[in-house]
Homo-oligomer: A and B are copies of this chain.
Amino acid sequence: MKFTIVTIGKIKENFILEGIQDYHKRISRYTQMDLFPVKEERMTNGVSGDLILQKEGKRILSKIPRDGLWVVLDRQGQELSSRNHFDFLNAQSELGVKKIYYLIGGPLGFSTEVLEKADKILSLSRMTFTHEMSALLLVEQLYRYLNFMAGEKYHK
Contacts and interface: CB of A to CB of B under 8 A. Distances in A.
Interface of A: 13-16, 18-19, 22, 43, 79-82, 84-85, 107, 124-133, 136-137, 140-141, 144, 155-156
A125 B125 contact: yes
What's the number of copies of this chain in the assembled complex? Answer: 2
Contact of A81 (B80, B127, B133): B127
A136 B133 CA distance: 9
A144 B156 contact: no
Contacts of A14: 18
A147 B93 CA distance: 43
Contacts of A84: 126
Nearest to A83: B128
Contacts of A125: 79, 124-127
